[in-house]
Structure 1
Amino acid sequence: MMSAQTDGLAQRVLQRFERAIGLTGLRHEIITRSSGSVLIIYVANPQERHYEALASALRAEDAEASSLLATLKKGREKAILQSSEVRLLLRVLSESLTITRHSFSDDFFSRYIKSVSGVEDQIVSAANHVVFGRRGSGKSSLLLWAMHGRKRDGSPFAWIDMQVYAQRSDRRVFLEVLLDIIDQTREAVANRPLADSLAARIQKLRDASKDPTEAGVRQLLPDIKRLFGSLATTSKDLVIFLDDFHVLAPTLQPHFLHLLYGFSRGTRVFLKLSAIESFTKLWDAASRTGLEVPHDVQLIELDYNLTTADKARAHIQSILDAHAAYCGLPPIVSLCNQSDVIARLVWVSAGVPRDALNIFGQAITKAANMANMRVTVTNVNAAASELVSDKLRFMELDSSGSFGAANQLLERIREFCLRDQKQNAFLVEERPGDADYRLIRQLVDLRLLHVIHEGIVKREAQRKHVALILDYGFYVGQRKARGIDLFNPKTAVPRYEELRSLPVFGIRAATEGAQQGVAADAVSGAARSKRRS
């Protein structure tokens, strides 16, 4: 017969265990044997971290002295969507939607899913890099992977969240970023007095009543170059991470980078940027200002769109599986009523990992509220229809000066697809010089349009088209539009003949669209077209 003392000890071990792994209300039992009592805790799919947490809880309570043993067993919950493990999964998915330098700091590497293309090896190389991708494609996570590697190895770095400077076009931005870099790297530089002196000069220039001139700012560069040219640890280089660089005003971007490169070039200081391509201007050819690709900076394109749906699915499923394992769940398909759910998830999220995680989390909640045993395609569609509101909100934030023109074009495309053609997919002629075509690329980066094929030849052999899908959120789930012919409803690999038969959306001539004042792309449209061909 179990004593009250043993029962109390078992409860304390259970509570410590639950706190350590983030689960609550786990099913458990205590059985009595001749050798002592055994606490059995049921977790759907226990992993190494769960066994380590249990062992730690036993040591903390000195359970061995009281002859209390504990073990984990796989538990099969009939209503798995109501389980403690799924409640934790929902919390983890929510936390993963906003990535900062502090995200998953304690166990970042165990939870990070490497890219299919192996760009992790690139980002840590001794070179300047800009990581391009749609919002939610994993750009910040890739920078974090490199940052945590440097932190683990004791290598110096500075992390700058550029969202603080969104839409700024004044030169004070450069001075404020410089102060942040000096502050974060003070322990790494060999000449501390020079760092203090420079910080004082920069603060004085920043606090002046007038915006500093570029000549005034450039006078600082020789001393800044001297400061970062000699680091305290001679075997280490310094990396400056600029996350979400595209939020700076496009007019400032090349000048900002020109000043950074003015002191980093020729030293062991390297720049790593993340940005949305169509809102980024790395190089201004007219003034020869900024970073020129590939001479000054190398591109990393981080995007698995619907042109490679199989890779996108593998990547998204591996991320979901990793989160599920962390929460003590079996592979993510165990939460779905059929395999088509994940395939549909990839298509409605257009291969964007963050969107997929957001949609799947909302789909779980919807299924649980309906008392469903598993997540269904209907739940995924309903969640996707709600996500479009967030995308439209971020559209205004990211598109800056081109918001009005982009919004008008989106409305024209919606009418073309949903009212005129009754189809969700269409073709558009690839015309990089046209303002409307550049706006379409912006809408792709904003995840309101999705590329399903980059090179469709329509009619004349020289006229290349891009195949696109209007975001599912506009016409599925709660916004379901009647009579819409959904392209590729079975989410199979689309046939070329199907793509060629899609209707063509006409864009205006370049001379008409040029008056829209659209921000220039990071690289010329022609260069981008060539790179993706």
Structure 2
Amino acid sequence: MSKPIYGDRSSHIKDAFQQRAGIRVVEVMVREYPDETNYIVYVREADVAEAAVVGNDLDEEISTPGDRAFVIVRKAPDELLEKEMKPLSAGVQDSRSVDLTNLISARSRVSEIQPSLSYVKDADRNLFAVTTPRHHLIFGRRGAGKSALLVEAKRSLDENSNISSWSNMQTLRNEKSNRVFLFILEDIIQAVITRQQRIQSASSISVGATELNDEIRGLLSVDSTADDLATRLIPKVQRVLKRFLDSNGLRIYIFVDDFYYLPRKDQPMILDMLHGCIRDCNAWLKVASIRHLTRWWQSAPPLGLQTMHDADLLDLDVTLQDPGRAKRFLENILTEYARHVGIPSLTRIFSSTALDRLVLASGGVPRDYLILAQNSIQRAQRRQNAKLVGVQDVNQAAGDAAQAKVQELEEDMASDVASATRTLAALKKVRSFCLEETSHTYFLISYRDKENLPSNYNILTDLLDLRLIHLVDDGVSDPHAAGHRFEAYMLDLSQFSGSRLKRGIHILDYQGGNIISKKIRGSSSSKSDSPVKVGDTPLKAIAILRTAPTFALERVGDLLPQI
């Protein structure tokens, strides 16, 4: 039988968790057996891994010769978490709402040094996939969780059988390609040296790795490095790595984050050189990037990583094709933040319609969702006596985000000004088509158009990767032409929302788990002057999307580079 415990052991356990790891214990339960006593310690999900380490250390401390004791750490169930939290009667005016906005501001960006507040596993089991012995190219829009996945993968590795290196390309964006290669090699070889010195510091493997590291540092110490000097290191690195990994029965994961910061023309060569260094070794590349800013393979001459043969692709984007799944995933993330500051449920500070609108406004991108939630709370706090974030607060936050997205576009494409200019021009054309010509915030792209004009289509996918348009459905059939299909997209809410939604347009919305369509009345941004169409079945959802105007890809043909 389980019951709450009190007394010296209970106090000692709670104090130890707080003082040693800063972990607040939700509750402690005791289970008594003839020869031992188990203390069940409930903590927040984000603290379970670290709490388990503290619990193991406590086993001996709380045991006596006649009574063995064990600390067992478990995730606190939702009812326990809600029970211990104070009521939130003031809603967004409560100080905990301010704490939530501050926490999002501080922790919405993930790095190797600052991991996710609590990693929320996705339905596609990407964490399992990325830790398999296979080269991976991990793609996703800005804020989709690429760095979070790599950090969590690195943290989840068994240190007894694995080592890892971490290289962020943002810091190397102004370096030449051969020096980028050398900096990544330095990270790899330093990881090897650190582990080998723990195993046998005076071994020939350790000496060889140290000499190689000195050679790499020597090349990096000069202002410029000849390409042939860098490429000559490839067989040396391969031999050192293979001998080290085979001798010690280890595997190395090479994490390369923000690869898109490097010039696209250099990317195949850098990947090819890295691939050469780890050929026939138990070493695996995990490269995170934005798809349309990445060139991972060139055919003539063959350079880089060829998908299906050399590497697998992981796509992290959670799109609006399955709005229910997107809503669950995003709300799970925000709920972890809310509970961290003592808010038991999102419905204590958000209306249900505001939570639906957040999914739509974010386009399914986790970081956008968090930042929009933060800004929506701050908007609501300015309204006198407001307790809940409403739809208008989300609309206004989305409008505020418009300029920030354009600035991100310019930052992402700083290495290719022509591409940035082309993408901005494409945005203007799509926006004009949707808002001025057709009064629809959603549109169709014909499969035939996509196949006949692939270069034009790529310009549209640039807008998709930059979260300026969002995929709603990739297979809308034409009821009048068998075999003819369309892709359905919607314009990002930031492009037609501010203090109010643009008047008199047909918009897609999300409500009660379903996509809906309505025409906005000119006098109000929250009411419709025509019947609302609800896509509560797959056929009804497709019927809504079929009413969208078709955007002809020839409209962006004049933006293609002149040959």
TM, length-normalised to structure 1: 0.79
Structure 1 residues 251 and 468: alpha-carbon distance in aligned structure 2, compared to 1, 3 A threshold? same
Does the 8 Å contact 1:172/1:212 carry over to 2? no
Matched position secondary structure for 1:383: helix
Q: 2:376 aligns with which of 344, 363, 369?
A: 363
Does the 8 Å contact 1:169/1:249 carry over to 2? no
The equivalent of 1:91 in structure 2 is 102
The equivalent of 1:230 in structure 2 is 243
The equivalent of 1:440 in structure 2 is 460
Could you tell me how far apart the structure 1 residues matched to 2:252 and 2:467 are? 34
Does the 8 Å contact 1:434/1:508 carry over to 2? no
Q: Deviations over 1:130-176 (max 9, x none)?
A: 11111111111111111111276573111111111236553221112
Amino acid across the alignment from 2:171? V
Residue 179 of structure 1: CA displacement?
A: 1.9
Identical aligned residues as a percent: 28
Structure 1 gaps of 5+ residues are: 1-12, 23-45, 57-71, 518-533
Amino acid across the alignment from 1:447? R
Could you tell me how far apart the structure 2 residues matched to 1:363 and 1:151 are? 41
Q: Which moved more, 1:158-167 or 1:244-253?
A: 158-167
Structure 1 residues 96 and 49: alpha-carbon distance in aligned structure 2, compared to 1, 3 A threshold? closer
The equivalent of 1:63 in structure 2 is none
Residue 323 of structure 1: CA displacement?
A: 1.6
Q: Deviations over 1:59-85 (max 9, x none)?
A: xxxxxxxxxxxxx95422321323343
Residue 463 of structure 1: CA displacement?
A: 4.5
Q: 1:406 aligns with which of 410, 423, 437?
A: 423
Relative contact order, higher structure (CA 8 A, sep 6+): 1
Residue 263 of structure 1: CA displacement?
A: 1.2
- Answering whether residue 136 of structure 2 is matched by residue 165 of structure 1, we say no
- Answering whether residue 138 of structure 2 is matched by residue 131 of structure 1, we say yes
Matched position secondary structure for 1:467: strand
The equivalent of 1:267 in structure 2 is 281
The equivalent of 1:492 in structure 2 is 514
Amino acid across the alignment from 1:419? E
Structure 1 residues 266 and 323: alpha-carbon distance in aligned structure 2, compared to 1, 3 A threshold? same
Amino acid across the alignment from 2:514? A
Could you tell me how far apart the structure 2 residues matched to 1:182 and 1:112 are? 29
The equivalent of 1:429 in structure 2 is 446
Could you tell me how far apart the structure 1 residues matched to 2:409 and 2:45 are? 42
Amino acid across the alignment from 1:256? I
Matched position secondary structure for 1:304: coil
Structure 1 residues 205 and 509: alpha-carbon distance in aligned structure 2, compared to 1, 3 A threshold? farther
Could you tell me how far apart the structure 1 residues matched to 2:500 and 2:189 are? 50
The equivalent of 1:464 in structure 2 is 485
Does the 8 Å contact 1:435/1:516 carry over to 2? no
Amino acid across the alignment from 2:490? I
Q: Which moved more, 1:483-492 or 1:270-279?
A: 483-492
The equivalent of 2:181 in structure 1 is 174
- Answering whether residue 304 of structure 2 is matched by residue 290 of structure 1, we say yes
Residue 407 of structure 1: CA displacement?
A: 0.8
Matched position secondary structure for 1:364: helix
Does the 8 Å contact 2:267/2:296 carry over to 1? yes
Residue 92 of structure 1: CA displacement?
A: 2.0
Structure 1 stretches of 4+ with a deviation exceeding 6 A read: none
Could you tell me how far apart the structure 1 residues matched to 2:267 and 2:161 are? 31
The equivalent of 1:527 in structure 2 is none
Does the 8 Å contact 2:242/2:282 carry over to 1? yes
Could you tell me how far apart the structure 1 residues matched to 2:379 and 2:508 are? 25
Could you tell me how far apart the structure 2 residues matched to 1:180 and 1:297 are? 21
- Answering whether residue 434 of structure 2 is matched by residue 417 of structure 1, we say yes
Q: How many residues align?
A: 458
In the TM superposition, 1:38-49 aligns within 5 A as none
- Answering whether residue 518 of structure 2 is matched by residue 505 of structure 1, we say no
The equivalent of 1:216 in structure 2 is 229
Could you tell me how far apart the structure 1 residues matched to 2:219 and 2:289 are? 28
- Answering whether residue 256 of structure 2 is matched by residue 242 of structure 1, we say yes
Matched position secondary structure for 1:186: helix
- Answering whether residue 118 of structure 2 is matched by residue 103 of structure 1, we say no
Q: Which moved more, 1:451-460 or 1:351-360?
A: 451-460
Q: Deviations over 1:21-80 (max 9, x none)?
A: 79xxxxxxxxxxxxxxxxxxxxxxx96999x99xx9xxxxxxxxxxxxxxx954223213
Does the 8 Å contact 1:182/1:199 carry over to 2? yes
Matched position secondary structure for 2:195: coil
In the TM superposition, 1:59-74 aligns within 5 A as 74=85
Structure 1 residues 516 and 347: alpha-carbon distance in aligned structure 2, compared to 1, 3 A threshold? farther
Does the 8 Å contact 2:320/2:326 carry over to 1? yes
The equivalent of 1:60 in structure 2 is none
Structure 1 residues 509 and 167: alpha-carbon distance in aligned structure 2, compared to 1, 3 A threshold? farther
The equivalent of 1:118 in structure 2 is 125
Could you tell me how far apart the structure 2 residues matched to 1:155 and 1:275 are? 24
Amino acid across the alignment from 1:148? R
- Answering whether residue 532 of structure 2 is matched by residue 515 of structure 1, we say no
Amino acid across the alignment from 2:279? R
Could you tell me how far apart the structure 1 residues matched to 2:280 and 2:266 are? 23
Could you tell me how far apart the structure 2 residues matched to 1:321 and 1:489 are? 20
Structure 1 residues 511 and 357: alpha-carbon distance in aligned structure 2, compared to 1, 3 A threshold? closer
Could you tell me how far apart the structure 1 residues matched to 2:258 and 2:286 are? 11
Does the 8 Å contact 1:434/1:510 carry over to 2? no
Q: Which moved more, 1:374-383 or 1:462-471?
A: 462-471
Structure 1 residues 359 and 21: alpha-carbon distance in aligned structure 2, compared to 1, 3 A threshold? farther
Q: Deviations over 1:403-422 (max 9, x none)?
A: 11111111111111111111
Could you tell me how far apart the structure 1 residues matched to 2:180 and 2:390 are? 48
Structure 1 residues 74 and 96: alpha-carbon distance in aligned structure 2, compared to 1, 3 A threshold? closer
Q: Deviations over 1:416-471 (max 9, x none)?
A: 11111111111123425532210111110100010101122446545532211111
The equivalent of 2:532 in structure 1 is none
Structure 1 residues 414 and 73: alpha-carbon distance in aligned structure 2, compared to 1, 3 A threshold? closer
Residue 489 of structure 1: CA displacement?
A: 5.9
CA RMSD in angstroms comes to 3.1
- Answering whether residue 435 of structure 2 is matched by residue 389 of structure 1, we say no
Does the 8 Å contact 1:282/1:290 carry over to 2? yes
Could you tell me how far apart the structure 2 residues matched to 1:445 and 1:286 are? 27
Does the 8 Å contact 1:427/1:468 carry over to 2? yes
